[in-house]
Structure formats: structure tokens, C-alpha cells
Chain A
Amino acid sequence: MATLLRLCTAGSVDDGKSTLIGRLLYDAQAVYEDQVRSVTRASRNRTAGPIDFSLFTDGLKAEREQCITIDVAYRYFATARRKFILADTPGHEQYTRNMATGASTANLAILLVDARHGLRPQSRRHAQIARLLGISSFVVAINKMDLVDFDRGVFDRIREEFADCLHGATLQPIPLSALHGDNVTAPSDRTPWYDGPTLVEYLETIDVDRRSATEAFRFPVQLVLRPSHDFRGYAGQILAGTVRVGERVTVWPSGHETTVQRIVTWDGDLDVASAPQSVTLVLADQLDVSRGDVLAVGAPHVASRFEAQIVWMDERPLDTSRVYLLKQTGRTVTAEIDRGLALNEIGAVVVTTARPIVFDSYARHHGTGAFIVIDPASSFTAGAGMIVQPARELVGAMDRPGAAERLAHVARTAATDTDAVTAVRQALEEILI
């Protein structure tokens, strides 16, 4: 059975990331001959050698013209032992949000550095984002070793810089030349002092975290299915843990307990199902369960005020006086955030939502601990958040402005009339619900 490894790559501009990925795809024969031909043709006008591997991944015309990568590209390849989904994320400062995007679904990150430059501020930042998004396995790919004569001293120095920067994570440094293929698929005879695995060998064999099926059960309801009067099922994807027919589960935020009567799928009923399966659950009791509720074993947090880390991804800075939309599992609520953040800034904040949400800490369950912040005016995904814990102080009645005050506040502080209309409409919807 082929398992799946999701990985992302990060590095500074010109570290040769696209070249490395092009090389991986080419060596894994995931690049087809006609693509090689079209790329070989395009390479003639440039100076990167016989085949410019970066052209396999630089998908957009603007990128090919400017020789840069401006957006996340997803690539797929397989070896005999494993299938890989690779998110190629750009190194430019203004697109750091794409790094967070790639890292959010990855089990492992490849941090690429140019052997001539070593660890630069950008690398440190990428490592920080990857750690924040919960990645604990890293390959430090020390590239362009051919340009430092495969000097072991250079390799050792960079390796130690990263060991300090990524303290506590699993780290595999590998000396490479992506352009020439050293230590990518085959071991290089130009690094006799290196006895570790090649990049592909390491990716094929590393044991990534697969604990989600053994964790406490978490099942956010996506959709209530009522095709007929005698069937009411709750459709969703199991985010963590395992569920069995006959098992007692609790519906949050109401806290009502019930029993799982059936696990329904198109392929027939199941006795047991685990993360990340998508199933439909039928419950023994008639309860009021709707989209956004969470079925769980054990108690998640239910709160409307919590501490979180946010990566800000919008040109327009986070404004503490604005009301945002927060989407977490299947629930979208309005939210206010207590601290301003600029594009690409990462910060610890306290979030207050208009209605309580059901969550776990991100460190415990990514699925129930992650949220996105949506700008209600532009609808852009402006922030990515990871919940740390419920806010320490209790929320008293005095902390929540009254409905009229709240409406006046959002109307007064909106930047434009359109924003004001949108914000008031949302606040009103929340209040009326």
C-alpha cells in the first residue's frame, strides 16, 4: 500500500528551489517527454544549462518572463515506495502568505539554502512559519555545493546554524547540487565525507506523524442530510480519532450526549471509521444538530474568547476596530481581534467571537484548532490563525458592548460607507441569530 507524504519547500530568492523540484520530478519521471521538449525549447533563450529544470514548475507567463515564482504550485510524483504531494512556495517577502499556505497541509518541510550564503533572515522566517503551522520534520537542503567546491566546512557551519534555529525539531541536513543532481536521487561521489541518505531516499523512508486516527474523536458537521422523512444523517469528515457504532458521543456546543446508531457511506454501512474518512453519522436521539456543531468524544473547548497566533496575509493591515469573519471547521462567525498586524506579520492575539465556537488547541488537533480570518469587505482570506487556548480572563457582561453600541461602533470605525454597510449588516445578523 502506497502511503502519502505531503511536503512543502521554502527558501530565499535564487536558492534554486524550482530547480530542485524540477530535478525531483525529472528523476522521478513525473515530468513527461513533451514537457521536457517544450522546456528544452524555452531554455535555449536562457543560460541555465542544457535543461532549465525550474521551467517545469514556474507555471505562469509572468513568472517565466521574470524568472521568479509568484504563487504556490502543487506537484505530484511517486516512487515505488511513496506518493508525494509537494507545495512549491515562493521565497519573496511579499508572498510569505503562500509559504503558510503550503505549510498548512504539509507533514515535512524542505528548507533550501544557497551554500554560498548560509542561513539568511528569510530562511529563519520560513522555518518559523513552518514550526508555527505545526511542522516538526525538516530537511535542510544545502544547495549549490558545487559552487563552494563541496567544502565540508561550509556544510557543517550551515548545519549548525539551522540546528540552533530549529531547536527541538527533527532535522536532516543534506549537501546538494540540484542543477547537477548530486545527492538528489543518487549519492554523489563529490561528497565522500557525507554518509547520510540522498534526498529522495530520506523522503521515501521518513516516518511522519500519523497519530490522528488514535486521537480523541472530532467530527464537525458539514451538512445535514434529510433525503426523506425517515432519514436524518450528519455528513462530515472525521478530523481526528475513531468512531464506532454504539459509541457515546457528545454534541458541542450544546453538550447533549447521544449514541452513534449508524455510520453510513455509499459503499455500505461501516462498524468503525477513522480520520480522515468522510462519512455520514446517524444518531440514536432526535437532537437539534446543525452545520458547525461538533460531535466529539471527550470535551473540546467552547468559548467566544481565545488566544491565538495569526499570520496576516492581506495588504490591508489587521485593524482592531473592524469586525472580521472567522471560519473554523464548518462555522463562520464575526470576530474582533485585539492587536493590529501588517502583511506577513505574525502575532499573538486575543480573538473575541460573537458566538461561542468549539475548538481544541492547534497543537492538539490541527483540524479543530485552525481558523481563517476573512475581510468582510473584500472577502479576501486575510489571516490564518492557530488557537493556543481559551482566554485566561472570564468574559463578563461588561466586556461585551450592547447591541446598539456595537452597531454604532462598527459603523463609526469603518473605512468606507460600503464597509460600514457590510459590517453593520453582519453585526445585525449575529445579534438577531
Chain B
Amino acid sequence: MPLDHLHALEAEAIQIIREVVAEFERPVMLYSIGKDSSVLLRLAQKALYPGPIPFPLLHVDTTYKFREMIEFRDSYTAGIGARLIVHTNTGAIADGTQPFLVGTQRCCGLLKTRALLDALDAGGFDAAFGGARRDEERSRAKERIFSLRDARGQWDPKRQRPELWHLLNGRLRPGETIRVFPLSNWTELDVWHYIDAERIPVVPLYFAKEREVIVRGDALIALEQGFVPLLPGERPERVMCRMRSLGCSPCTGAVRSTADTVPRIIEELIAARHSERQLRIIDHDLDGSMELKKREGYF
């Protein structure tokens, strides 16, 4: 009997993780605390069982993440005995970098991309796992499972290596690194079905409850950071809502929802007709902005 869809995806992801552990000297897993990271972490546990996860987790902390994310990060990674590296571009923070001052593009460039590249460099990591999925965004649909990056961490879509069968080419030239995406073939719905089936803990922000937010057009904006400017007439309201994807609190919109359990989230997603990145304000700065960020070294 053929495996169902989820088990086939799981087996493929485990194969990818093991291939990296076998072929690379210093892998690291980028841990963004979101649902995809939670799934990735579980798959790593499964891939290396009964051994421990042999590589560290890396969280690039912009300092603007939701408080609940940081609490979850610290308790969950400690609970499973993972080694966690937290890296912040402290220089940029000291210079006052925040999205409303320097713009979201420059803010992401400094606090996420620059910080990520510095952290990878500092650790001497030759392979970095990420939880990106090809269904998220159209430039990601063209991403390889082993995504080659040059010495500056940059992606060149025209230099991508063909990837056939399950034969992953991990050979690097000096200075080159790879980003590895074991969830490439998963969709948002697959991720939630897997979280449900495996009972994987996720940050409570994904579940609906009444939260204090600013209602701005279609977006609901959290008020965790004092620098988020209020427009005339705006004031905090209590709205039943949840996050569909997690990022920095000033740049991640919530959605109105009553889905307070994983099965209800799945029900809601099946009914939903809005893609998850719509509420990540940063991707909409420019036409093709994700592609530009990836070219600069984002994952």
C-alpha cells in the first residue's frame, strides 16, 4: 500500500537531513520559532534518533519578535536538549534601527539578512537548514533543496544546479555554503496536518484569542513595540485574532479568527482564500522583493 502524502513527505525530509549530516562538517539549523521550524526540528529528531540532534540551532533575533515567541523558544529548545545560538546585529540596534525609522527593507537587510550572514560566518557553518517551503512565494517555487550560496551568502537563480532524483550535490568550492530546505515540497496545509498528527507544540500566537491590536485597513497590528506610530483616530482595540505566520511584531499582521485549536486552524485554512504571506508587510514593498532579499543572502 502506498504511503499517504504526509508520510511520503516525512520520509523525504528525513533523507535530506541525514544526507546533510553525512556530507557536511558544520551544519546548523536556522530556527525561527514558527510552525515550519517546529516541524523541521521534529524531523531532525526523527532523522537522527536514537542519537541527539548533532548540530546547533541558530535564531537570528531582531529583538522585535513577539515576547511569546522568545518564551517559547527558550523553554522548548531547553526541553528537548538542543543547543541554541542566538545572534543579534547589536550594532544596528544600537544605531536605532527599526522599521518605521529606516523602512522595512533596510531594517530586514540589517537585522535579518546581515545578522544571518554574520552568524553563519562566525560559526563557520557550511550548511544551514531552513524551513522555507516552495509554496510560500513564487521565487521560492524555483528554489532547490540544496540551495548554493556564494561566499557572501547570495543566491544566483541562474547558477542553480540541476537536482535530480534524490541525489543531492553537496560539493562546495572554497567560501561557498548551502542552505538546505527539507520542507521544500510541503504546503502550509501539510505543515498543519503534520503538527496535528504528531502533536507538535507551537507558539500560542497561532491560536485565536482576544488581543490588543490596531485595526488598519485589512491588517491587525500588534502593539508590543512602543515605536509603532498611531495614525490619527487610531486606538488599540481588543479583537479576536491569531497569527498565520510569525515574524517581528511591528511587521506581522494578525487575522481575525476564532480558530483556537489545530484542527480548527486546518478547517479555517481549507476555507481560506488568502495566502499566508499577505500579512507579512515586508514582502510587498516591491514587486519581486523576496527574490531581491534572497539574492542578498536571505533564506
Verify that A and B bind, or say they do not: yes
| B291 part of interface (Cβ distance < 8 Å) | yes
- Expressed in whole angstroms, the Cα–Cα distance for A143 and B164 within the complex equals 28
| A433 part of interface (Cβ distance < 8 Å) | no
Q: In the complex, which of the residues B142, B171, B172, B287 contacts A71, with contact meaning CB atoms closer than 8 Å? A: B142
Note all chain A residues with C-beta closer than 8 A to B274: 32-34
- Closest B residue by C-beta to A74: B134
Note all chain A residues with C-beta closer than 8 A to B8: 4, 276
| B84 part of interface (Cβ distance < 8 Å) | no
Q: Quick check: which of B15-23, B95-103, B109-117 contacts chain A, the rest being far away? A: B15-23
Q: Quick check: which of A53-61, A153-161, A180-188, A192-200 contacts chain B, the rest being far away? A: A53-61
- Closest B residue by C-beta to A104: B164
User: Do residues A367 and B165 form an inter-chain contact, with CB atoms below 8 A?
Assistant: yes
Known: A223-B18, A276-B12. A34 touches B275 (CB 8 A): yes
| B-side interface residues, number (CB < 8 Å) | 58
**Residues of chain A in range 199-218 having any CB-CB distance to chain B below 8 Å:** 210, 213
**Residues of chain B in range 122-172 having any CB-CB distance to chain A below 8 Å:** 134-135, 138-142, 157-158, 160-167, 169, 171-172
Note all chain A residues with C-beta closer than 8 A to B166: 237, 367
Give B137 Cβ to nearest chain A Cβ, in Å.
Answer: 8
**Residues of chain A in range 18-55 having any CB-CB distance to chain B below 8 Å:** 29, 32-35, 42
| A-side interface residues, number (CB < 8 Å) | 73
- Expressed in whole angstroms, the Cα–Cα distance for A392 and B84 within the complex equals 55
- Closest A residue by C-beta to B187: A76
User: Do residues B134 and A370 form an inter-chain contact, with CB atoms below 8 A?
Assistant: no
| B5 part of interface (Cβ distance < 8 Å) | yes
User: Do residues B49 and A384 form an inter-chain contact, with CB atoms below 8 A?
Assistant: no
Give A196 Cβ to nearest chain B Cβ, in Å.
Answer: 26
User: Do residues B273 and A29 form an inter-chain contact, with CB atoms below 8 A?
Assistant: yes
User: Do residues B169 and A76 form an inter-chain contact, with CB atoms below 8 A?
Assistant: no
Note all chain A residues with C-beta closer than 8 A to B189: 78
| B209 part of interface (Cβ distance < 8 Å) | no
Q: Quick check: which of A300-308, A372-380, A408-416 contacts chain B, the rest being far away? A: A372-380
A-B contact pairs, 25 of them (CB 8 A): A2-B4, A29-B273, A33-B273, A73-B142, A75-B134, A75-B135, A78-B187, A98-B162, A100-B162, A225-B48, A225-B51, A227-B52, A231-B50, A237-B11, A266-B46, A267-B46, A276-B3, A276-B11, A278-B11, A313-B162, A330-B19, A330-B22, A372-B164, A374-B169, A381-B161
